Chain A
């Protein structure tokens, strides 16, 4: 899948530098539309799975298990987005995208999957719901944008829902990491102690605490960046017709 994308971007590289404003070529656009449609569908599957499991069980508890596999599959699939930026078919920063995707993948695999005891925590549901709603809106936003038919509702939702979903997701993530700490310390998960041949050590427990601390400078920056984007994108529309 990446081969045709690489091919187009290589030959189109001189084109894309001239046609910067036109965005990716036709083939890349087709691929991106398919990618975004598939991702939208995937997160819808997760959403439906959550609702069905809730209705069947009658409680919020342990819903993670009902959507564990599609969650892992589609969240990990988002790694492709880093590639899209690196190759140039998406005009975002590789570093920023990489950072956002890696933090999601980290939470999915290195925390929730790795520490079985936290899987039944309610905090997991908190961030899974936040991610699900966010991603459904985000991927449909990209799909419609690529097709040049973006309904105002989707644009509005993308730049408004985050106001609640972002803090909700962050809260879920932090609570989950916090819940994992005692188990990580007890079992020495992913940790290396001295002495060893390569004179290196790593304490995963301390690392997780540092990750939690890093939310303090990072979250406000990302949140207020979205706020500014909102003013720019939605505030602007008030001057023009709301019909797309």
Chain B
């Protein structure tokens, strides 16, 4: 028999949520309404536990089911309840039935981001410095004779250092965790593509862009413009959300001109990201970089459309001029 660690809050807690993922029970001076709570498995409908006088904290039994893995919902196929939900405010009678789903092993978003971004940074540098066993031995530890290759290394490294710093200091995540298997999937993607791109850019037989300095200068301008843009959006999104909160608000243009794109686009962070990689593709004139840009664009479009849809669903007054990722097009 397994039991869940379930803390039901009967009155809303003051101030920011406590680190505990479940709701702490409180003894109040008002007349206490007791709830009966039963938890069923969402798939098999087996009764997992029954609490007849809620107000008590049950000891946690099963170590497999730490709170981040627990998905508790009112409907077996419905959305998960949030940590902040209060039992009294849910549409349940005095006997509440909840459904439990095990989300599987979880890992924190921060950990995943740091790992998936540190990889490309280091891997690219290994190719740039022509570490042994990649290229022919006579090229070990040599440097490319093309200045664009040095520039590309700086841009690529800057991009991932920026991402790492943003993960640590800028982003405010809605979810604490994601499924563990994502780290393997994500790292394979990022690390694999980084190695593939870096191999060609830093290759002894690399061919610089056809239109030379003109092309590289334009590409660098686009790249830097979009990096600043992307960062501006991240800051703007961060400022929508007070520290430690998970509120969602409609983002609007700020005094920073790079945020004026919010007038036309729901997810300009993705728009700028696409722009950065297009710049990098132009700078290196390398087909694998173009592939990486394309695949990234497809994924970001999927995310942008999802985000756009949830904005529309959540906010009645959401601006109608906005497209998910590309102004007027997509």
> How many pairs, one residue from A and one from B, have CB atoms within 8 Å of each other in the complex?
29
Q: How far is the CB of B194 from chain A (nearest CB, A)?
A: 15
Residue of A nearest to B288 (CB): A200
Asked if residues A194 and B210 are in contact (CB atoms below 8 Å), the reply is: no
Residues of A with C-beta under 8 A to B201: 199
Among A194, A196, A199, A200, the most chain B Cβ lie within 10 Å of the Cβ of: A199
Residues of B with C-beta under 8 A to A197: 207, 210, 285
Interface of A is mostly: loop
Residues of A with C-beta under 8 A to B206: 194-195, 199
Size bracket of the A interface: under 10
For window 153-190 of A, CB contacts with B under 8 Å fall at none
Q: How far is the CB of B313 from chain A (nearest CB, A)?
A: 20
Residues of A with C-beta under 8 A to B165: none
Residues of B with C-beta under 8 A to A195: 205-207
Asked if residues B286 and A200 are in contact (CB atoms below 8 Å), the reply is: yes
For window 276-330 of B, CB contacts with A under 8 Å fall at 284-288
Among B201, B285, B287, the most chain A Cβ lie within 10 Å of the Cβ of: B287
Interface of B is mostly: loop
Q: How far is the CB of A198 from chain B (nearest CB, A)?
A: 4
Asked if residues A198 and B205 are in contact (CB atoms below 8 Å), the reply is: no
Among B205, B284, B286, the most chain A Cβ lie within 10 Å of the Cβ of: B205
Residues of B with C-beta under 8 A to A196: 207
Q: Say yes or no: is B193 at the interface (Cβ < 8 Å to chain A).
A: no
Residue of B nearest to A198 (CB): B287
Q: How far is the CB of B209 from chain A (nearest CB, A)?
A: 9
Which of B205, B284, B288 is within 8 Å of A194, CB to CB?
B205
- Give CA–CA (A197, B205) in the complex, Å: 10
Size bracket of the B interface: 10 to 19
Q: Say yes or no: is A191 at the interface (Cβ < 8 Å to chain B).
A: no
Residues of A with C-beta under 8 A to B203: 194, 199
Residue of B nearest to A197 (CB): B207
- Give CA–CA (A227, B203) in the complex, Å: 48
Q: Say yes or no: is A221 at the interface (Cβ < 8 Å to chain B).
A: no
Q: How far is the CB of A20 from chain B (nearest CB, A)?
A: 16
Residues of A with C-beta under 8 A to B285: 197-199
- Give CA–CA (A200, B284) in the complex, Å: 11
Q: How far is the CB of B154 from chain A (nearest CB, A)?
A: 18
Q: How far is the CB of B62 from chain A (nearest CB, A)?
A: 30
Given known contacts A194-B203, A194-B205, A199 and B210 CB-to-CB distance under 8 angstroms: no
Q: Say yes or no: is A2 at the interface (Cβ < 8 Å to chain B).
A: no
Q: Say yes or no: is A93 at the interface (Cβ < 8 Å to chain B).
A: no
Residues of B with C-beta under 8 A to A145: none
Q: Say yes or no: is A201 at the interface (Cβ < 8 Å to chain B).
A: yes
Residues of B with C-beta under 8 A to A194: 200, 203, 205-206
- Give CA–CA (A196, B210) in the complex, Å: 11
- Give CA–CA (A197, B288) in the complex, Å: 12
Chain A residues proximal to chain B, CB less than 8 Å:
194-201
Q: List 14 A-B contacts (CB under 8 A).
A: A194-B200, A194-B203, A194-B205, A195-B205, A197-B207, A197-B285, A198-B285, A198-B286, A199-B201, A199-B206, A199-B284, A200-B200, A200-B286, A200-B287
